Structure 1
């Protein structure tokens, strides 16, 4: 199960089916991100796509009838209206239309009626309706999916449709399980099961039946069950970049740095396009520094070898190695700049000390020390407009009750204090990486066939009593996943031979976006939430 490969396959299919010749690709905002996550600009150019247009930015221009237009959009009502307008007054010679998900017959009829000049050559459904972040990681880029403990309807629809597309692209027909006690998980599981039933013919045509292997499992979890993980500072390269600089669709902005060169104002960090990043995204901060140093030394050695170009043979050798040389130059500049800024931020914000305290609080029970910290907080921020002292005191009172989000806990960062006790690693030498996401325990129980059915029931009560352990697992976290959990999944994929796990979330969180998630969920329901805390 490789989500990047699945999306790339569909996009390659689009560019090839339109045949040779100059092409333009017409996309919406979301499909633009879907494509850019898996293909670089230069890779798309190699497929004879020379122009990129947004369907919502329709502009009048010179006649481009000599160009073929590949349309790749989501099947929303807005996009159908925009495409209808495009087909009534076609700018390009022919159109090959691909929708990222299932489209209704009524919408196809609407488009056919608008195609008066008969420019449409193809209309197809492809199932690339999600952001492929890594081979085993996907997202929908939704922050603020819930209102209190209920879905925003548009986000429920987006996630259910996106997960259907994921299943079709990976050719999996799973047993659907969800976290008991979580209304959002239950609602999403029911919606996906209904979509699978409604599109049973489509699934039958796309997914081969194999009765000899255990069925895949789609496990839907609630972020509220582990609010600690998104709040902790991370020390692996990928997670650090996201926490301190923010990764947005594989892009990192460095425009705020003084004297940064134009080409480094925004850098792309994509494992499929950057070999160094692919090999080192899970390396810890200490290791990455040494690796960067070795990379620089290698580059300097190669640069020195090219300083003298005195013969035809020297010139030929330089020309042959130039693309690789240029690529390595870009890699060195990019990662030296990023790591340098990470190092500066670690020093400026004293993150080693902060992280040690976070790890101690999340992995060890020391009520006296934690009470002292709350007291210091109260004295320092007594008159601050956003003072959360009352909530912290209530959190300390409730510590040890063992309640988690899935069984009634509120989605609030202040309650993270309640949930830290049992999931540390004893005897770990690195004090900055003691914490282990709850997801690891959950997935290991699932892999071993020990995940309790009363806590994680199946939709429709499908029988799991045969005890066949799943080989393919898709886990989706309502409220967002993290890069720490992506690392956890990567490690489990390496540890358990024959087991393949893919992780997804409404978004990929760092601590800032997680706080935004909390604020969004609590808007308008703060009083109810406060009463809930007092009743704990």
Structure 2
């Protein structure tokens, strides 16, 4: 698939709709009015500069700003159609009785255009019709774009801090359907954007797991999709059966959110202070001393895209090679700079900007990786991860089955070197691995040994909210395990002594010992793509009338296993699966995404992990399918623990929710829809309009709040939203965009009918001094890594069919801002490398 296809499609639809509204009165100045939810959407797909690059748009304001009269300005409202948002729009244009012939409160704007992120129900439309003066509403466009793009193949639904609590808490059973109805509407938005009408499969767990969220979400999604298709019959017939949407929930795999993972992205998000949106701050040494720098870890960083799914040992080697390459480039430029000819000077100067960009990226990731390795030296993380792998795979790295796991478990949870959070994670994995066979008495003793707080003990108990059953065996059988000296705690002293002496180590040379577990998510999707997924456990919600439609949505390729870049090679020494690009052959965009490539959407209610995100890309590249993964949350282990910790709390004491600290032709165009109840219909892309039956729909359930709060861009911190007007950026002539971006209606003015800069020679050497990359030998910057790190083995054949070779296309950066419109200058990277090899 093409890089950033989902983001580019969303960007196209949003910008086309806003510019279309702007073009209806090109001479009138306009502002774009946003709400909290549309702010997040805009920040995932476009920038302030791009949004204001043409026509008459002069700024961006927030819907909840204190109203300031702009009698000559038109407003383009880009908002989610909640009752609160519609009420505020009506308030901006409320008719006020004049005092002495002069209106006491003028209108906020001259006129308005509504570009809504989702469908406006009839009740709210009726309120608009009754409240707005006849000359105010110029156009109305429903886009179906109410979701957030996190990465090129990853999306997230909009959620409140209490979404996880509402979905899984036993005290909020009545809230779960409302949350999933909200999710279902956003899945419809995704399908509209991708122009798909999927068959829906869902996870139907066994009787031991009472969590039935997957089916409930599937039913609500199908209901909302049916509503959408009622008004788009041509859309339904042209897309039926081409795609499958697989609905899962977090209970399908409880191991993965707790495990320590050693691929780059997952490890960074687990161990380091990566802020929401991938913002990472670090200190570097420059000519002026230590300076704090900031990098955004997202698809705009090509080095991050290349490294994020690789094992950290591979990342270490790649960064070392990049540093050596930069050193050679710097020496080459220095030699050229010593020459007098102006031609050489021009060559050197022209190469500096790209050199500085690459230098800054390598320094940032080198610093990030150093922090990861430092964390590996703390808290017996290697021993923890090793036991985690034994618990979840059932075997050691040598293939042996350990009968007395407690001999390894108890010393770790009793160790003062292990953090309370890591002890909690290890116990969670242990209880899940035992599948409910550990009795309450033994669980209590283990938690006492780990010295868990009452909050942490509640977190373990709250696994019941995700369908886990702690007591699947008779209590008497469990109690007997601690009666005799040979029981679980009778061996405590001997276990501690054995642990202190160290266990046998004979690591497998062909794999990374601490990365053996494959998430269940990956096997489920792989089985589906090979047509081998159990129809009883993962049934179709509505079997297709034509069996060929189902067959067209499934791949029958022979792919016995899909391995990660760092997985064990097969018997033949190659890790390339059948039907994929062999090592050394560059996979182009055309081979990854073509007319015959299938599409698949997976949605996980309750959150996805970075391990599962990685698996999505690996499967997509292995099969040549466009696979999209979405969820209500993107989870790090700490975020998942925080969410679990509040499930037992009663509604009068709501939990804190997830912290936000630690996201040419357009296939998304959908046919136009005619106006309501025959008032009028207009499609700006041309084509016919058809009558549409009256609808009786519930009001949208949104999350807009009464008070506007300061917001920062999740992609570009310096360009975040704030509740203030935006000074106009440079404008260019508006260009009309062909094709429909949604469902467009137009209201008449008289009724509510609906239809490379040069550098001085004298300063050249100073720039080289700042970019000095003097080497201090070839010693590894990670030589202080612990023995647990050195035990990670690289595969004998590191080539992988999953390695991304296409460099990502880079969109404009700068973020969306309501307070500033000037892009910050990109300054010299400085003397970044003088401490690398010391």
Q: TM-score, normalised by structure 2?
A: 0.53
Tell me the distance in 1 between the aligned counterparts of 2:545 and 2:273: 43
Measured against aligned partners, the alpha-carbon deviations of 1:55-108 in whole angstroms (never above 9, x if no partner) come to 23x134574845x64432212222222232334465455543211111113323
2:193 equivalent to 1:169: yes
Q: 1:479, 1:517 within 8 Å by CA — same for their partners in 2? A: no
2: CA distance, partners of 1:64 / 1:359: 66
Aligned to 2:157: 140
User: Which has a greater percent of helix?
Assistant: 1
- CA 1:118 to 1:438, structure 2 compared with 1: closer, same or farther past 3 Å? same
1:269 alignment partner, one of 297, 301, 311: 297
Cα displacement (A) at 1:368: 3.8
- Cα distance in structure 2, aligned partners of 1:417 and 1:153: 28
Query: Among residues 319, 330, 338, which one is paired with 2:368 in the alignment?
Result: 338
Highest RCO, 1 vs 2 (Cα 8 Å, sep ≥ 6): 2
Q: CA shift at 1:387, angstroms?
A: 10
Are the structure 2 counterparts of residues 398 and 140 from structure 1 closer, same or farther at C-alpha, using a change threshold of 3 Å?
Answer: same
| 1:154-233 map, 5 Å | 154-181=178-205, 182-204=211-233, 206=235, 209=238, 214-233=241-260
Cα distance change of structure 1 residues 302 and 79 upon mapping to structure 2, 3 Å threshold = farther
* Corresponding residue for residue 497 of structure 2: none
2:207 maps to 1:81: no
Would the aligned equivalents of 2:71 and 2:107 in 1 still touch at CA under 8 Å? no
The aligned counterpart of 1:509 is 635
Name the SS for the 1:209 alignment partner: helix
**Per the alignment, do residues 103 and 520 of structure 1 end up closer, same or farther by CA in structure 2, a change over 3 Å counting?**
farther
In 2, Cα distance between equivalents of 1:249 and 1:385: 21
Contact 1:74 1:129 in 2 (8 A): yes
C-alpha contact (below 8 Å) 1:33/1:249 kept by paired residues: no
Judged with a 3 Å threshold, the aligned counterparts in structure 2 of structure 1 residues 72 and 346 are, in CA distance, closer, same or farther, namely farther
1:376 shift after superposition: 4.1
Match of 2:464 in 1: 410
Specify whether residues 210 and 226 from structure 1 end up closer, same or farther in structure 2 by C-alpha distance, changes over 3 A only: closer
**Alpha-carbon spacing, 1:374–1:263, altered in 2? closer, same or farther (3 Å):** closer
Closer, same or farther: CA 50–436 of 1 in aligned 2, 3 Å: farther
- Asked if 1:71 corresponds to 2:94, the answer is no
Tell me if structure 2 keeps the 8 A contact 1:10–1:127: no
Aligned to 1:54: 62
SS of 1:218's partner is: strand
Q: Aligned partners of 1:77, 1:148: CA distance in 2, in Å? A: 27
Question: Shift of residue 378 of structure 1?
Answer: 7.2
**Per-residue deviation at 1:124?**
0.7
Structure 1 position 45, deviation (Å): 5.6
Shift of 1:321: 5.0
Structure 1 portions without partners, runs of 5+? 402-408, 419-425, 526-536
**TM alignment of 1:109-124, pairs within 5 A:** 109-116=126-133, 118-124=135-141
Alpha-carbon distance between aligned partners in 2 of 1:102 and 1:373, rounded to the nearest angstrom: 56
- In the alignment, the residues of structure 2 paired with residue 172 and residue 158 of structure 1 have an alpha-carbon distance, to the nearest angstrom, of 19
Query: Which residue pairs with 2:41 in the alignment?
Result: 34
For residues 65-464 of structure 1, the aligned pairs below 5 Å read 65=72, 69-88=75-94, 90-92=107-109, 95-116=112-133, 118-140=135-157, 142=159, 144=164, 145-148=166-169, 150=173, 152-181=176-205, 182-204=211-233, 206=235, 209=238, 214-245=241-272, 250-254=277-281, 261-264=291-294, 267-271=295-299, 273-302=300-329, 308=337, 313=343, 317=347, 324-365=354-395, 366=401, 368-376=403-411, 398=435, 410-411=464-465, 429-460=511-542, 462=544
Q: Is the CA contact 2:604–2:630 (under 8 Å) kept in the aligned structure 1?
A: yes
Q: For structure 1, which segment, 47-56 or 137-146, has the greater mean C-alpha deviation from structure 2 after superposition? A: 47-56
Structure 1 residues 309-363: Cα deviation after superposition (integer angstroms, max 9, x where no partner) = 9776566556655654554354234333323332332333443333222222211
- The structure having more radius of gyration, on CA atoms, is 2
**SS of aligned partner of 1:26:** strand
SS of aligned partner of 1:348: coil
Q: Structure 2 vs 1, CA of residues 321 and 429 (structure 1 numbering), >3 Å: closer, same or farther?
A: closer
Structure 1 residue 396: deviation in Å?
A: 7.0
Contact 2:435–2:470 (8 Å) recurs in 1:
no
351-360 vs 327-336, which moves further:
327-336
Which deviations, in whole Å up to 9, do the C-alpha atoms of 1:239-263 show, x marking residues without a partner? 2222123655533243799997454
Q: Are the structure 2 counterparts of residues 75 and 118 from structure 1 closer, same or farther at C-alpha, using a change threshold of 3 Å? A: same
Offset at residue 477 of structure 1 (A)? 0.8
Supply the RMSD in Å over aligned alpha carbons: 4.0
Change (3 A) 1:394 1:262: closer
Cα distance per residue 1:112-161 (max 9 Å; x no partner):
44443845432211122111112221112545152336453442222111
Change (3 A) 1:449 1:79: same
Partner of 1:8: 11
Q: 1:118 to 1:334 in 2, by over 3 A?
A: farther
Q: 1:174 aligns to what SS in structure 2?
A: strand
Distance change (3 Å), C-alpha of 1:435 and 1:106: same
Aligned mates of 1:328, 1:86 — CA distance in 2: 48
Please tell me whether residue 488 in structure 1 is matched to residue 505 in structure 2. no
Q: How does the TM-score come out when normalised to structure 1?
A: 0.80
